Every structure is written in structure tokens, then in C-alpha cells.
Chain A
Amino acid sequence: MTVQMIFLAFFGGAAVWFGVVVFRTHSMVRSALALLFSQTAIGAMFLVMQAEFLGVLQIMMMATEMSIMAIFMVMFMMDPGGLGGMDMSHQKRFSIGAGVSAAVVAIAVALLSDWGPAAEQVVDAEAQTRALGMELLGRSMMIFETAGITILTAMIAATAVAIPVQNLSSKDDKEASE
């Protein structure tokens, strides 16, 4: 149990530290990848807590999502490499206030909720995966399907918005080939 606690604290600390690095660095790519490794550390925390499927899923999803975010950050920012020493933080007073109040709320929830007795024995990973599948396709099916349809709608909408740009590029291609 204590070894587990040490690892949990280590990965928790790593997650927070990488979270700080996101705003301390000047480079957009470093910022995005720091966020990625912060999320990976949270995935490792799941693994330490023996929630194998959730941990592996978190580690897998974040790698791709944050990499895709990185390219958008590079495309839209004027100084993606941070060679000009750009500051990542802005609206400082508002951000500090929002950050502190969010932290207070999170700590209050952590301390004041009734979490029930801590589980000493955990069912093995295979049973967990099975239970998770049953949950996703049973009681929680409606919620997850709604979320899925929402994401699909957003994807179609985003593609629809992008279509004029695609037409322009295909016209360019046609002109180039002529």
C-alpha cells in the first residue's frame, strides 16, 4: 500500500509539474507536449490505482489529442517556437482568481465528500474491463450515445465549415494541372 502511495504521489506531482510547465515555457510545441505528459501522468495514476483499462485508455487518447492540438497551436500563434520569448499567460488577475477559486472548490469537494470506505481488494483487470463494458452498454448507454452523437454532429459541422477552403484548393489544383 505504501509503495502504491509513493508512486501515486510521484505521478500526481508530475502531473501538476507538467501542468505548470504548460504556462512557464515560451514554445507552443513544448506547451502542448507538457500538457500531453501531464495527462499521461494522470493515466499512470490510474494504473497505480489498478484501474488498468482507464489508465491505458487515458495514456492512448491523450497522445493523439494533444499532438493534434500542438499543430493547431503552431498554426495559429505568431511565435510558435517561442524564440521571441512570448509570455503564455494573460488576463493575469482574472486567471489567478479563477485558478484559486477552482482549486478551493476542488479541495473542498475532495475533503467534504463522503467517499465511502477505501477498497482494499480490487477485482482483476479483466473483470473490470467487462464491468466497464456492461456499464457503457447498459445503464449509461443513453449518456454515452448522446455524447457520441454530439461529437459526430460537431465533426460534421466542422467539416461543413471547412468545405469552401477545400473547394478553393481543388480549384488551385485544377489550375495547376492545366
Chain B
Amino acid sequence: MSILVVLLSLAAGAYALAVIERWAVHGHLSLTGPAWAALALLGRESLLARKSDRLFFELGPVLLLVAGLMAVAVIPLAPGLIITDLATGALFLNAALAYVLVALIMAGWGPNGAYAMIAGWRFLGQFIAYAMLIVMPITAVAMRAESLSTVEIVASQEQLWNVLYQPMGFILFVVAAMGLAWLPPLDLPDATGELAGGVEAEYTGVRLAVLRLARMVIILALAGATVTFYLGGWLGPWLPPWAWSAIKILVVAAAMLSVGRYMPRIREARYLALSWKLGISLALANIFVVGVIALVVPI
């Protein structure tokens, strides 16, 4: 039952996100726009490049969708409303999202096109930049909760949300999450206007629809992870828990979709240098500070 509810809310969330993204990119709000765009994609011819790696070409978008769904499985929307409450939930989320990289390499390599291939390998460079900054802030979150279970992590923020308890971790995590979901200014894998769509360049029709849907699911999963780890999950006054989850996730997702559009795209080498020289030092400092606070002031 809760699986069905989570999947339905995921579908609704993905649609809402598509509306918001359209709004952020084109500047006008259209509630039916994404539906028409999806219908158009379904009706369009699905082209197959010559000498493509057919297996990777077909599997790339599907694996991307599966990775996103797996990540969503450990995000609690309300007490009891979670697909599976794993004891290693926070680690499982990482494991699922690691396959975003695999899927993008497959989708980039598959169609035998230069733009797509460059984009796929670029994402590997980007991955090396963001990967540690996803894991290390989560370590500090798990340290406070004394558990890797996402439900426990939300419960640990009853007194004080993690965004106030460890603000540095929050900033690092959100930036790394934007890199993972290849959102601007870290959108090297599709790099509109530079790589002609990158990974998406050779996809048309139904396959492109799956790819875009998968990306929306990944953004939702990451917004859900941000809310779970830092913004107190379903916790909040007056409204029912699921409403708080929905509001927080949509606000975080909308912020992630729109904020970066006003910055220039960051080259992967520069992103790497920033992440490793500055980001990892800050993440280590964050772990240390959280450890000291957890030992000295128990909240």
C-alpha cells in the first residue's frame, strides 16, 4: 500500500517538477505544458544511430530510472510511509545513485555520437568531484543520528534540524547533489548550447521521454534526501507529516532547479579542484565539529 502511495506521489512530484523547470527555463507558467510535451515525445519517431551499441543505448535511460526509483525507496515521506526502511538506508541511497554515473556512461557511449560520448565521460570527471561531498556530509548526519536508517535520521532532528546543527554539511551536500543531478551550473553532461544536449543529443521519442522522466525522479530523490538529512523530513507544526514532506521536497527541488541558472557553467577541472581542495577540507572539518558537538552537547 505504502509503495503505491509513494509511487503515485512520485509521479505527481515529477510532473510538478517538470512544470517548475519549464517555468524556470522559459519564464512562463503552464500547467499542461509538460503533458503536451510528453505526448509529443511519445508520438515522435524513435531514431537509432548507425553502428550504435544497441544494448547500452536501450538500457541507459532504463538504468537511470531504476537508480532513481531505488534511491526514492529509502526516503520517508511520513512515519510509516516509506517503501523500505533499511538499516543502511543512507548508504543505500548512495549505492543507488552511484548507478546514475553508470547509466549516463552507457547512454553516452551507446548511440555512437561524439557529443553524447564526450558528455558521458565528462560526467565521470564531474562524479569524481562530487562523490566524496555526497558521502562525507551524510557521515556527519549519521553520526548525529547514530544510525544509517533514514527514519532514525529524521527522528534525530526532533529538537533541532540538521541545517542549523551542521550548516556547512548542508551547503556541501546541496551543491554536490546539484552536480549529481547535472543541474546548472554543473550541467556538463547535457550542456545546452555547447554539446547540443550531450547525453540527450541522440535520443528521441519514447527513449528521450524515459531519460527525462528518470532525471526528474533523480532530482526528486535528491531533494527528498536533502529534506530527510537536513530539513527535518516530515517534522513540522500544524500540517500533517506528508504535507510537510511534500512542501519541503518541492521547495528544495524548485530551488535546485532555478538558482544555478544565473551562474556560468563550471568546467569539470575547475569543479574538481574546488571540490577536492576546498570541499573535502570543509567536509572533514564538518565531521570533526559535529563529532565534538555530539560528544559535548547532546541534542
Contact = CB atoms under 8 A, between A and B. Distances in A.
Q: Please classify the interface of chain A as helix (H, G, I), strand (E, B), loop, or mixed, using the class held by over half of its residues.
A: helix
A30 B86 contact: no
A29 B111 CA distance: 13
Contacts of B91: 53, 56-57, 60
Given A64-B127, A129-B88, A129-B148, A33 B95 contact: no
The size class of the interface chain B forms with chain A is: 20 to 34
B58 interface: no
B258 interface: no
B87 A29 contact: no
A132 B105 CA distance: 33
A29 B105 contact: yes
A9 to B, nearest CB: 23
B98 interface: yes
B109 interface: yes
A53 B51 contact: no
Contact of A126 (B51, B106, B124, B149): B149
A33 B102 contact: yes
A57 B93 CA distance: 11
B127 A70 contact: no
Given A27-B53, A63-B95, A64-B127, A52 B88 contact: yes
A94 to B, nearest CB: 31
A125 B56 contact: no
Contacts of A129: 87-88, 148
Nearest to B128: A68
Contacts of B95: 56-57, 59-60, 63
A63 B106 CA distance: 12
A102 interface: no
Contact of A36 (B86, B102, B131, B147): B102
A70 B105 contact: yes
| List of 7 A-B pairs having minimum Cβ-Cβ separation, nearest first | A125-B87, A60-B95, A63-B98, A126-B87, A59-B95, A56-B95, A56-B88
Interface of A: 27, 29-30, 33, 36, 52-53, 56-57, 59-60, 63-64, 66-68, 70-71, 74, 81, 83, 124-126, 128-129
Given A56-B92, A126-B87, A129-B88, 10 more contacts: A29-B105, A30-B55, A56-B86, A63-B98, A63-B99, A64-B127, A67-B127, A71-B124, A81-B112, A128-B87
